[in-house]
Amino acid sequence: MSKLQKALGMLRSDHESGTAGSSDSERDRQVKREYNDRNLLAGSSRSSVRPRYVAAPGLEGEAPADYSIQIDRNALANERLLQDAADREVIAQQFRRIKRPVLDLAFGHGVPETIGSPNVIMMASALAMSGKTFCSLNLAMSIARERDFGAVLVDADVLKPNISRALGLENRVGLIDFLLNPEIGLEDVLVGTNLQDIVVVPAGQQHGEATELLASRRMKEFISRMSERFPGRAIIVDTPPLLVTNEAQVLAEHMGQIVLVIEAGKSTHNVVLEALNSLNRDKPINAILNKARDNAFDQYGGGGYGYYSAPQGGNGHE
């Protein structure tokens, strides 16, 4: 048994016996040393106090993550990942409509078996600075407000892990560590939050062979196990830009459905087509028109977001 497994076993045993709070014991100090040695608790500036866990009806029986943090929403607003309090409800209303086709595919009846894991959703963009990470977080929060479903947010933008950085998890064990080390289990990379009870998987360490790792059988195993571990949650996977790196195109093969974030006024028609042509068109592909300022697409609440379904197998996208 590995040191990591022993440490996890000791913590779980203490928790079950009600002794987890006795921080003065030698046993507790040893457990903390084991965790620190494996970089499991390093680097997070957020509180590690576990938020109160209340399962939605569709999540009954699901065990909470072993490790949890408290998130300051104002800090996320400062990072421009959330709107400030004055505009927050406007954005929430927009994403209420945006999430419907996603949820219908993820949990609806009659979904084709070829989709694979329909509750695993890739958030993609053609180019950087399109607002993909903003849309990933806000879509996850909107889905997590559902009475019957929850959300998991996976930071797979391993070259520029904005979600991990914004949440203070950039030094936390995460996706790349799981892919590299078979001794790291799924539960080791899950982080519970007080943000609508969203579970986060940080990006993990930087690695020069990230493309190969994301294309590996271990990544396919990660997606499969996440889908099985969270059957009542939409698993939102934030990925790198499609036309900037190879990682996103590799990741797309593992996804059940894809949402393409298009920046209005910046992403040209040809750029969007190039991004779509890089994807497997047999997968369901939808899109969010971000930062829209006109009525070319549906507008919701005047906030500048639109939604349309990208036709599959067609020759163009209007």
Q: What is the pLDDT of residue 88?
A: 76
Number of domains making up the chain? 2
Residues 77 and 21 both lie in one domain: no
Which residue in the block uniquely carries the two structure tokens 């998890």? 169
Residues 34 and 50 both lie in one domain: no
Strand runs labelled E in 22-103: 67-69
Q: What is the pLDDT of residue 176?
A: 97
DSSP 117: S
How much of the chain, in percent, has pLDDT values that exceed 70?
70
How many degrees, rounded to 5, is the angle at CA 231 between CA 65 and CA 251? 85
Q: What is the pLDDT of residue 253?
A: 87
Q: What is the pLDDT of residue 235?
A: 97
Residues 290 and 178 both lie in one domain: yes
Quick: pLDDT tens for 73-98.
888 888 888 877 667 788 888 899 99
- 318 in any annotated domain: no
> 199: which residues sit within 8 A by CB, 6+ positions away?
65, 150, 151, 152, 153, 190, 191, 192, 193, 230, 233
Residues 165 and 294 both lie in one domain: yes
Q: What is the pLDDT of residue 281?
A: 79
Distance of alpha carbon 98 from alpha carbon 287, whole angstroms:
9
Using left for φ > 0, alpha for ψ between -120 and 50, and beta otherwise, residue 131 falls in left
Residues 95 and 77 both lie in one domain: yes
Q: What is the pLDDT of residue 113?
A: 64
Instruction: Please state the rounded mean pLDDT for residues 202-225.
Output: 94
Radius of gyration of the chain (CA): 20
Q: What is the pLDDT of residue 10?
A: 42
Distance of alpha carbon 43 from alpha carbon 36, whole angstroms:
10
Q: How far is CA 147 from CA 55, 59, 97, in A?
A: 10, 10, 16
Range of the domain at 27: 1-38
Q: How far is CA 51 from CA 46, 71, 98, 196, 295, in A?
A: 12, 10, 28, 10, 41
Confidence of residue 111 (pLDDT cuts 50, 70, 90): low
Quick: pLDDT tens for 131-164.
999 999 999 999 999 989 999 999 999 989 999 9
CATH label of the domain that carries residue 193: 3.40.50.300
Backbone angles phi, psi at 22, to 5 degrees: -85, 75
Residues 179 and 250 both lie in one domain: yes
Q: What is the pLDDT of residue 223?
A: 94
Residues 30 and 68 both lie in one domain: no
Residues 189 and 287 both lie in one domain: yes
Residues 15 and 65 both lie in one domain: no
Residues 149 and 194 both lie in one domain: yes
Residues 130 and 16 both lie in one domain: no
Residues 107 and 238 both lie in one domain: yes
Distance of alpha carbon 118 from alpha carbon 234, whole angstroms:
9
Quick: pLDDT tens for 23-42.
344 444 443 344 334 343 33
Which residue in the block uniquely carries the two structure tokens 């180019």? 127
Distance of alpha carbon 10 from alpha carbon 167, whole angstroms:
27
